[in-house]
Amino acid sequence: MDVLRFGDTVALGQDNVQYDLSQVTQRLASGLRISSAADDPSGLAISQTLLAQANGLQAGQQNIQSALDLVQTADGGLQTVANNLMRMRDLVVEASTNLQSPSQTADIQTEIDQLNAEINTISGGLQFNGRHLLDGSLSSQSAAFAQHYVPRNDTLSSGNQIVDPTSIGLAMNAPPIEVSFTVTADLGAGNDPGGLVPNDVLAVTLNAASTDFNFGPPQTQTFYIVAGTNQTDVQFAFGLGVGSPDMQVADQYGNPVLGFNFNALSASDVGKTFLLYSVSRQQNQPGQALQVNLGQAEGDILSVDIPGVSANNLGVGGLLLSATTASEMLNPVVNPQLTPDQAPAAADQANNLIDQADEYRIDHALQMIEGIRAQVGGQMVRLQEAAQNAQTAQTSTLTAASSIRDTNIGSDATRLTRDQVLSQIQSQTLAALHVDAMQVATLVRSSFGQNSGIAA
Protein backbone atom coordinates (compact mmCIF):
# COMPACT_ATOMS: atom_id res chain seq x y z
CA MET A 1 0.00 0.00 0.00
CA ASP A 2 1.21 3.49 -0.86
CA VAL A 3 1.25 4.91 2.65
CA LEU A 4 2.12 8.47 1.63
CA ARG A 5 -0.65 8.76 -0.97
CA PHE A 6 -3.16 7.22 1.40
CA GLY A 7 -2.14 9.69 4.08
CA ASP A 8 -2.63 12.59 1.70
CA THR A 9 -6.12 11.37 0.91
CA VAL A 10 -6.98 11.10 4.59
CA ALA A 11 -5.53 14.56 5.29
CA LEU A 12 -7.54 16.13 2.45
CA GLY A 13 -10.68 14.46 3.75
CA GLN A 14 -9.89 15.78 7.21
CA ASP A 15 -9.64 19.34 5.86
CA ASN A 16 -13.05 19.01 4.23
CA VAL A 17 -14.56 17.59 7.39
CA GLN A 18 -13.06 20.38 9.49
CA TYR A 19 -14.50 23.04 7.12
CA ASP A 20 -17.91 21.41 7.21
CA LEU A 21 -17.62 21.02 10.98
CA SER A 22 -16.87 24.73 11.42
CA GLN A 23 -19.91 25.65 9.29
CA VAL A 24 -22.22 23.31 11.18
CA THR A 25 -20.88 24.54 14.51
CA GLN A 26 -21.51 28.17 13.43
CA ARG A 27 -25.07 27.35 12.34
CA LEU A 28 -25.86 25.56 15.57
CA ALA A 29 -24.30 28.34 17.65
CA SER A 30 -26.14 31.16 15.85
CA GLY A 31 -29.27 29.24 14.87
CA LEU A 32 -28.94 30.67 11.36
CA ARG A 33 -28.40 28.90 8.10
CA ILE A 34 -27.57 32.19 6.42
CA SER A 35 -25.14 34.30 8.45
CA SER A 36 -23.79 36.30 5.55
CA ALA A 37 -24.60 36.95 1.91
CA ALA A 38 -21.98 34.39 0.90
CA ASP A 39 -23.98 31.59 2.49
CA ASP A 40 -27.02 32.03 0.18
CA PRO A 41 -27.31 35.39 -1.67
CA SER A 42 -30.82 34.92 -3.04
CA GLY A 43 -32.07 33.28 0.14
CA LEU A 44 -30.72 36.20 2.18
CA ALA A 45 -32.59 38.72 -0.01
CA ILE A 46 -35.87 36.81 0.22
CA SER A 47 -35.61 36.27 3.97
CA GLN A 48 -34.78 39.93 4.61
CA THR A 49 -37.89 40.99 2.67
CA LEU A 50 -40.03 38.57 4.65
CA LEU A 51 -38.55 39.76 7.95
CA ALA A 52 -39.28 43.38 7.01
CA GLN A 53 -42.89 42.42 6.32
CA ALA A 54 -43.12 40.57 9.64
CA ASN A 55 -41.71 43.57 11.51
CA GLY A 56 -44.24 45.82 9.80
CA LEU A 57 -47.04 43.50 10.86
CA GLN A 58 -45.76 43.60 14.44
CA ALA A 59 -45.77 47.40 14.38
CA GLY A 60 -49.26 47.28 12.85
CA GLN A 61 -50.48 45.12 15.72
CA GLN A 62 -49.15 47.68 18.18
CA ASN A 63 -51.00 50.41 16.27
CA ILE A 64 -54.19 48.36 16.32
CA GLN A 65 -53.92 47.74 20.05
CA SER A 66 -53.44 51.45 20.70
CA ALA A 67 -56.45 52.21 18.49
CA LEU A 68 -58.49 49.61 20.39
CA ASP A 69 -57.55 51.25 23.68
CA LEU A 70 -58.56 54.63 22.23
CA VAL A 71 -61.92 53.36 20.99
CA GLN A 72 -62.66 51.63 24.29
CA THR A 73 -61.93 54.88 26.12
CA ALA A 74 -64.28 56.74 23.79
CA ASP A 75 -67.00 54.13 24.32
CA GLY A 76 -66.72 54.60 28.08
CA GLY A 77 -67.26 58.33 27.61
CA LEU A 78 -70.25 57.71 25.36
CA GLN A 79 -71.79 55.46 28.02
CA THR A 80 -71.48 58.26 30.57
CA VAL A 81 -73.12 60.71 28.14
CA ALA A 82 -75.97 58.24 27.62
CA ASN A 83 -76.43 57.94 31.39
CA ASN A 84 -76.65 61.72 31.69
CA LEU A 85 -79.24 61.88 28.90
CA MET A 86 -81.39 59.24 30.56
CA ARG A 87 -81.27 61.19 33.81
CA MET A 88 -82.25 64.36 31.92
CA ARG A 89 -85.23 62.57 30.42
CA ASP A 90 -86.37 61.47 33.87
CA LEU A 91 -86.15 65.06 35.07
CA VAL A 92 -88.10 66.42 32.09
CA VAL A 93 -90.89 63.91 32.66
CA GLU A 94 -90.89 64.73 36.35
CA ALA A 95 -91.18 68.45 35.65
CA SER A 96 -93.89 68.09 32.98
CA THR A 97 -96.71 68.30 35.48
CA ASN A 98 -98.45 71.02 37.42
CA LEU A 99 -97.52 69.33 40.70
CA GLN A 100 -94.14 71.07 40.97
CA SER A 101 -93.76 74.42 42.62
CA PRO A 102 -91.74 77.10 40.78
CA SER A 103 -88.80 76.57 43.15
CA GLN A 104 -88.87 72.81 42.58
CA THR A 105 -88.98 73.34 38.83
CA ALA A 106 -86.00 75.68 39.16
CA ASP A 107 -84.10 72.99 41.09
CA ILE A 108 -84.83 70.47 38.35
CA GLN A 109 -83.67 72.97 35.73
CA THR A 110 -80.42 73.45 37.67
CA GLU A 111 -79.73 69.72 37.60
CA ILE A 112 -80.49 69.59 33.86
CA ASP A 113 -78.05 72.45 33.32
CA GLN A 114 -75.36 70.60 35.26
CA LEU A 115 -75.94 67.41 33.29
CA ASN A 116 -75.66 69.40 30.08
CA ALA A 117 -72.43 70.95 31.34
CA GLU A 118 -71.05 67.49 32.17
CA ILE A 119 -71.87 66.25 28.66
CA ASN A 120 -69.90 69.19 27.27
CA THR A 121 -67.04 68.48 29.68
CA ILE A 122 -66.84 64.87 28.50
CA SER A 123 -67.13 65.89 24.87
CA GLY A 124 -64.42 68.53 25.08
CA GLY A 125 -62.14 66.96 27.68
CA LEU A 126 -61.97 63.19 27.12
CA GLN A 127 -58.50 62.43 25.72
CA PHE A 128 -56.27 59.52 24.83
CA ASN A 129 -52.55 60.15 24.41
CA GLY A 130 -53.26 63.85 23.92
CA ARG A 131 -55.97 63.33 21.29
CA HIS A 132 -59.49 64.61 21.99
CA LEU A 133 -61.96 61.80 21.37
CA LEU A 134 -65.50 63.18 21.44
CA ASP A 135 -65.26 66.78 20.24
CA GLY A 136 -65.58 65.87 16.55
CA SER A 137 -61.86 66.26 15.78
CA LEU A 138 -61.63 62.50 15.10
CA SER A 139 -64.42 62.58 12.53
CA SER A 140 -64.47 63.25 8.82
CA GLN A 141 -68.19 64.01 8.98
CA SER A 142 -69.18 67.60 8.33
CA ALA A 143 -71.13 69.46 11.00
CA ALA A 144 -74.81 69.33 10.03
CA PHE A 145 -76.94 72.42 9.58
CA ALA A 146 -80.10 72.82 11.63
CA GLN A 147 -82.25 69.72 11.23
CA HIS A 148 -85.98 69.16 11.69
CA TYR A 149 -87.81 66.01 12.80
CA VAL A 150 -91.49 65.16 12.51
CA PRO A 151 -92.70 62.75 15.20
CA ARG A 152 -96.35 63.25 14.19
CA ASN A 153 -98.04 64.01 10.88
CA ASP A 154 -101.59 62.65 10.92
CA THR A 155 -103.25 61.20 7.84
CA LEU A 156 -106.29 63.11 6.58
CA SER A 157 -109.57 61.65 5.33
CA SER A 158 -108.24 62.26 1.81
CA GLY A 159 -105.36 59.85 2.45
CA ASN A 160 -102.76 62.60 2.43
CA GLN A 161 -100.81 63.69 5.46
CA ILE A 162 -101.82 66.97 7.00
CA VAL A 163 -98.48 68.53 5.97
CA ASP A 164 -96.56 67.66 2.82
CA PRO A 165 -93.21 66.38 4.19
CA THR A 166 -91.36 67.46 1.05
CA SER A 167 -92.47 71.06 1.52
CA ILE A 168 -90.87 71.61 4.91
CA GLY A 169 -88.12 74.21 4.78
CA LEU A 170 -85.97 75.07 7.81
CA ALA A 171 -83.44 77.90 7.87
CA MET A 172 -79.85 76.55 7.94
CA ASN A 173 -79.02 78.39 11.16
CA ALA A 174 -82.48 78.17 12.69
CA PRO A 175 -82.69 77.99 16.49
CA PRO A 176 -84.24 74.92 18.08
CA ILE A 177 -87.99 75.33 17.66
CA GLU A 178 -91.12 73.28 18.20
CA VAL A 179 -94.23 73.72 16.06
CA SER A 180 -97.71 72.23 16.14
CA PHE A 181 -100.38 72.66 13.47
CA THR A 182 -103.82 71.34 14.50
CA VAL A 183 -107.32 71.35 13.01
CA THR A 184 -109.13 72.47 16.16
CA ALA A 185 -112.80 72.91 15.13
CA ASP A 186 -115.42 72.84 12.37
CA LEU A 187 -117.23 76.17 12.60
CA GLY A 188 -119.82 75.20 9.98
CA ALA A 189 -121.18 77.15 7.01
CA GLY A 190 -121.87 80.83 7.45
CA ASN A 191 -119.83 81.06 10.63
CA ASP A 192 -116.61 82.53 9.28
CA PRO A 193 -115.41 84.87 12.06
CA GLY A 194 -114.28 87.34 9.45
CA GLY A 195 -117.56 87.19 7.57
CA LEU A 196 -115.69 86.77 4.30
CA VAL A 197 -117.08 83.46 3.01
CA PRO A 198 -120.37 81.61 3.41
CA ASN A 199 -118.67 78.24 3.12
CA ASP A 200 -117.97 75.71 5.83
CA VAL A 201 -114.90 76.98 7.69
CA LEU A 202 -112.36 75.05 9.80
CA ALA A 203 -110.37 76.60 12.64
CA VAL A 204 -106.66 75.70 12.49
CA THR A 205 -104.19 76.65 15.23
CA LEU A 206 -100.46 77.14 14.66
CA ASN A 207 -98.30 77.13 17.79
CA ALA A 208 -94.56 77.77 17.78
CA ALA A 209 -92.02 78.08 20.59
CA SER A 210 -88.28 78.15 21.13
CA THR A 211 -85.89 78.41 24.04
CA ASP A 212 -83.74 80.73 21.94
CA PHE A 213 -83.89 84.32 23.21
CA ASN A 214 -83.92 85.81 19.72
CA PHE A 215 -87.02 83.85 18.75
CA GLY A 216 -89.05 85.61 21.39
CA PRO A 217 -92.06 84.36 23.37
CA PRO A 218 -94.18 81.43 22.19
CA GLN A 219 -96.48 82.21 19.28
CA THR A 220 -100.06 81.13 18.66
CA GLN A 221 -102.19 81.96 15.63
CA THR A 222 -105.59 80.79 14.50
CA PHE A 223 -106.42 80.56 10.80
CA TYR A 224 -109.79 79.88 9.19
CA ILE A 225 -109.54 77.40 6.32
CA VAL A 226 -112.36 76.91 3.81
CA ALA A 227 -113.38 73.23 4.03
CA GLY A 228 -112.26 71.13 1.06
CA THR A 229 -109.32 73.48 0.36
CA ASN A 230 -106.03 74.54 1.85
CA GLN A 231 -106.93 78.24 1.54
CA THR A 232 -107.70 80.69 4.29
CA ASP A 233 -110.94 82.61 4.19
CA VAL A 234 -109.02 85.69 3.05
CA GLN A 235 -107.30 83.84 0.20
CA PHE A 236 -110.53 82.17 -0.86
CA ALA A 237 -112.61 85.38 -0.72
CA PHE A 238 -110.18 87.50 -2.70
CA GLY A 239 -108.86 84.81 -5.03
CA LEU A 240 -105.32 85.15 -3.74
CA GLY A 241 -104.48 81.48 -4.21
CA VAL A 242 -102.34 79.35 -1.94
CA GLY A 243 -99.30 80.94 -0.32
CA SER A 244 -95.76 79.75 -0.88
CA PRO A 245 -95.30 78.31 1.64
CA ASP A 246 -98.80 77.99 3.01
CA MET A 247 -97.60 78.51 6.57
CA GLN A 248 -94.53 80.35 7.77
CA VAL A 249 -92.97 80.78 11.21
CA ALA A 250 -90.72 83.77 11.90
CA ASP A 251 -88.92 85.02 14.99
CA GLN A 252 -89.92 88.17 16.84
CA TYR A 253 -87.88 90.25 14.41
CA GLY A 254 -89.64 88.85 11.35
CA ASN A 255 -86.77 86.59 10.23
CA PRO A 256 -88.18 83.44 8.55
CA VAL A 257 -87.38 80.26 10.46
CA LEU A 258 -89.71 77.56 9.07
CA GLY A 259 -92.17 77.14 6.23
CA PHE A 260 -94.42 74.27 5.10
CA ASN A 261 -97.46 73.46 2.94
CA PHE A 262 -100.56 71.71 4.22
CA ASN A 263 -103.05 69.68 2.20
CA ALA A 264 -106.77 70.31 1.66
CA LEU A 265 -108.76 69.89 4.88
CA SER A 266 -112.32 68.66 5.49
CA ALA A 267 -114.72 68.63 8.45
CA SER A 268 -113.78 65.03 9.26
CA ASP A 269 -110.17 66.10 9.85
CA VAL A 270 -110.87 67.92 13.10
CA GLY A 271 -108.27 66.86 15.68
CA LYS A 272 -105.62 66.02 13.09
CA THR A 273 -102.19 67.31 14.14
CA PHE A 274 -98.76 67.97 12.73
CA LEU A 275 -95.85 68.21 15.19
CA LEU A 276 -92.30 69.26 14.37
CA TYR A 277 -89.21 69.98 16.41
CA SER A 278 -85.76 71.04 15.28
CA VAL A 279 -82.18 70.98 16.57
CA SER A 280 -79.66 73.72 15.98
CA ARG A 281 -76.61 73.61 13.74
CA GLN A 282 -73.81 71.31 14.91
CA GLN A 283 -70.31 72.47 15.78
CA ASN A 284 -67.25 70.24 15.43
CA GLN A 285 -63.59 70.87 16.08
CA PRO A 286 -61.54 70.71 12.85
CA GLY A 287 -59.97 67.34 12.18
CA GLN A 288 -60.41 64.06 10.39
CA ALA A 289 -60.91 60.37 11.09
CA LEU A 290 -58.06 58.58 12.84
CA GLN A 291 -55.87 56.64 10.40
CA VAL A 292 -54.50 53.33 11.73
CA ASN A 293 -51.67 51.77 9.72
CA LEU A 294 -52.13 47.99 9.82
CA GLY A 295 -48.57 47.36 8.62
CA GLN A 296 -49.48 44.73 6.02
CA ALA A 297 -48.63 46.83 2.97
CA GLU A 298 -48.08 50.40 1.89
CA GLY A 299 -51.32 52.33 2.24
CA ASP A 300 -53.06 49.61 4.25
CA ILE A 301 -55.04 51.98 6.47
CA LEU A 302 -58.09 51.49 8.68
CA SER A 303 -60.12 54.61 9.58
CA VAL A 304 -61.63 55.19 13.01
CA ASP A 305 -64.37 57.84 12.94
CA ILE A 306 -65.91 59.18 16.17
CA PRO A 307 -68.45 62.04 15.80
CA GLY A 308 -68.63 64.91 18.25
CA VAL A 309 -71.16 64.53 21.07
CA SER A 310 -71.44 67.94 22.64
CA ALA A 311 -74.85 68.85 24.04
CA ASN A 312 -75.37 71.14 21.07
CA ASN A 313 -74.52 68.40 18.56
CA LEU A 314 -76.89 66.03 20.31
CA GLY A 315 -79.68 68.60 20.12
CA VAL A 316 -80.09 69.15 23.85
CA GLY A 317 -77.90 72.22 24.30
CA GLY A 318 -79.69 74.90 26.31
CA LEU A 319 -82.59 72.56 27.09
CA LEU A 320 -85.13 74.50 29.16
CA LEU A 321 -88.21 73.35 31.00
CA SER A 322 -91.54 74.95 30.15
CA ALA A 323 -92.26 78.04 32.23
CA THR A 324 -94.35 80.24 29.95
CA THR A 325 -96.84 82.52 31.69
CA ALA A 326 -100.02 84.11 30.40
CA SER A 327 -98.45 87.57 30.56
CA GLU A 328 -95.60 86.43 28.29
CA MET A 329 -98.13 85.25 25.73
CA LEU A 330 -99.75 88.68 25.60
CA ASN A 331 -97.16 90.05 23.21
CA PRO A 332 -98.77 92.22 20.54
CA VAL A 333 -95.89 91.70 18.12
CA VAL A 334 -96.04 87.92 17.91
CA ASN A 335 -99.58 87.24 19.20
CA PRO A 336 -101.72 90.15 18.04
CA GLN A 337 -104.91 88.02 18.03
CA LEU A 338 -104.59 86.87 21.64
CA THR A 339 -106.88 88.32 24.29
CA PRO A 340 -106.26 88.27 28.06
CA ASP A 341 -108.98 85.64 28.47
CA GLN A 342 -107.25 83.36 25.96
CA ALA A 343 -103.73 83.87 27.33
CA PRO A 344 -103.77 81.24 30.16
CA ALA A 345 -104.93 78.47 27.80
CA ALA A 346 -102.38 79.59 25.21
CA ALA A 347 -99.62 79.46 27.84
CA ASP A 348 -100.64 75.90 28.77
CA GLN A 349 -100.54 74.90 25.10
CA ALA A 350 -97.09 76.44 24.72
CA ASN A 351 -95.80 74.66 27.83
CA ASN A 352 -97.18 71.33 26.65
CA LEU A 353 -95.53 71.85 23.28
CA ILE A 354 -92.17 72.67 24.90
CA ASP A 355 -92.41 69.64 27.23
CA GLN A 356 -93.14 67.31 24.32
CA ALA A 357 -90.28 68.75 22.31
CA ASP A 358 -87.87 68.37 25.26
CA GLU A 359 -88.70 64.67 25.50
CA TYR A 360 -88.41 64.20 21.75
CA ARG A 361 -85.04 65.95 21.68
CA ILE A 362 -83.65 63.80 24.49
CA ASP A 363 -84.99 60.64 22.82
CA HIS A 364 -83.35 61.78 19.60
CA ALA A 365 -80.07 62.42 21.46
CA LEU A 366 -80.22 58.93 22.98
CA GLN A 367 -80.77 57.46 19.52
CA MET A 368 -77.78 59.42 18.25
CA ILE A 369 -75.60 58.17 21.10
CA GLU A 370 -76.66 54.57 20.56
CA GLY A 371 -75.99 54.97 16.83
CA ILE A 372 -72.53 56.39 17.55
CA ARG A 373 -71.83 53.60 20.04
CA ALA A 374 -72.91 51.05 17.45
CA GLN A 375 -70.53 52.70 14.97
CA VAL A 376 -67.72 52.70 17.52
CA GLY A 377 -68.48 49.09 18.46
CA GLY A 378 -68.34 48.07 14.80
CA GLN A 379 -64.97 49.78 14.47
CA MET A 380 -63.81 47.97 17.60
CA VAL A 381 -64.77 44.61 16.12
CA ARG A 382 -63.05 45.55 12.88
CA LEU A 383 -59.87 46.44 14.77
CA GLN A 384 -59.98 43.14 16.66
CA GLU A 385 -60.37 41.23 13.40
CA ALA A 386 -57.55 43.25 11.85
CA ALA A 387 -55.32 42.42 14.84
CA GLN A 388 -56.08 38.71 14.48
CA ASN A 389 -55.42 38.80 10.75
CA ALA A 390 -52.17 40.68 11.29
CA GLN A 391 -51.04 38.15 13.89
CA THR A 392 -51.84 35.25 11.56
CA ALA A 393 -50.03 36.93 8.66
CA GLN A 394 -47.04 37.71 10.85
CA THR A 395 -46.79 34.10 12.04
CA SER A 396 -46.97 32.80 8.47
CA THR A 397 -44.40 35.32 7.25
CA LEU A 398 -41.99 34.54 10.08
CA THR A 399 -42.39 30.83 9.38
CA ALA A 400 -41.54 31.39 5.72
CA ALA A 401 -38.52 33.53 6.59
CA SER A 402 -37.37 31.02 9.19
CA SER A 403 -37.51 28.14 6.70
CA ILE A 404 -35.08 30.07 4.49
CA ARG A 405 -32.83 31.80 7.01
CA ASP A 406 -32.74 29.60 10.10
CA THR A 407 -30.80 26.40 10.46
CA ASN A 408 -32.33 22.93 10.59
CA ILE A 409 -31.30 21.88 14.08
CA GLY A 410 -31.99 18.18 13.57
CA SER A 411 -30.15 17.95 10.29
CA ASP A 412 -27.19 20.04 11.44
CA ALA A 413 -26.92 18.18 14.75
CA THR A 414 -26.68 14.94 12.76
CA ARG A 415 -24.02 16.48 10.52
CA LEU A 416 -22.10 17.65 13.59
CA THR A 417 -22.07 14.16 15.05
CA ARG A 418 -21.05 12.69 11.71
CA ASP A 419 -18.24 15.21 11.24
CA GLN A 420 -16.98 14.68 14.78
CA VAL A 421 -16.85 10.89 14.24
CA LEU A 422 -15.12 11.31 10.88
CA SER A 423 -12.65 13.77 12.36
CA GLN A 424 -11.74 11.32 15.12
CA ILE A 425 -11.34 8.45 12.67
CA GLN A 426 -9.23 10.55 10.34
CA SER A 427 -7.03 11.74 13.21
CA GLN A 428 -6.53 8.19 14.43
CA THR A 429 -5.81 6.97 10.89
CA LEU A 430 -3.21 9.67 10.33
CA ALA A 431 -1.66 8.87 13.69
CA ALA A 432 -1.55 5.19 12.77
CA LEU A 433 -0.01 5.99 9.39
CA HIS A 434 2.56 8.11 11.16
CA VAL A 435 3.44 5.18 13.44
CA ASP A 436 3.66 2.81 10.47
CA ALA A 437 5.91 5.19 8.63
CA MET A 438 8.22 5.48 11.63
CA GLN A 439 8.40 1.71 11.93
CA VAL A 440 9.29 1.38 8.24
CA ALA A 441 11.96 4.04 8.64
CA THR A 442 13.38 2.21 11.64
CA LEU A 443 13.49 -1.05 9.73
CA VAL A 444 15.18 0.65 6.83
CA ARG A 445 17.81 2.20 9.07
CA SER A 446 18.32 -1.12 10.79
CA SER A 447 18.69 -2.82 7.43
CA PHE A 448 21.29 -0.32 6.30
CA GLY A 449 23.19 -0.78 9.55
CA GLN A 450 23.32 -4.56 9.24
CA ASN A 451 24.45 -4.42 5.63
CA SER A 452 27.31 -2.12 6.62
CA GLY A 453 28.57 -4.65 9.24
CA ILE A 454 28.62 -7.55 6.73
CA ALA A 455 30.58 -5.56 4.26
CA ALA A 456 33.27 -4.86 6.87
**Is residue 393 assigned to a domain?**
no
**Which of 1-5, 71-75, 149-153, 376-380 is predicted with the least confidence, judged by mean pLDDT?**
1-5
pLDDT confidence of 244, banded at 50, 70, 90?
confident
What pLDDT was estimated at residue 207? 96
Decide if 175 is inside a domain.
Answer: yes
Is the confidence at residue 426, as pLDDT, over 70? no
Instruction: Give me the percent of the chain exceeding a pLDDT of 70.
Output: 82
Q: Is the pLDDT of residue 452 over 60?
A: no
Residue 418 within any structural domain of the chain: no
In a domain, 204, yes or no: yes
Encode 273-285: b = buried (16+ Cβ within 10 Å), e = exposed: ebbbbbbbbbebb
Contacting residues for 256 by C-beta, under 8 A, at least 6 apart: 171, 248, 249, 250
Q: Containing domain of residue 250, as a range?
A: 148-281
Asked if residue 14 is part of any domain, the answer here is: no
Average pLDDT of the residues of the chain: 86
Does residue 243 lie in a domain region? Answer: yes
pLDDT at 113: 95
What's the CA gap between 443 and 436, in Å, rounded?
11
pLDDT at position 115 over 90: yes
Which one-letter amino acid corresponds to residue 2? D
Give the angle 268-269-275 at the CA atoms, nearest 5°: 165
The pLDDT of residue 456 is above 50? no
Residue 424 lies in a domain: no
> For residue 159, is it within any domain?
yes
Number of domains in the chain: 1
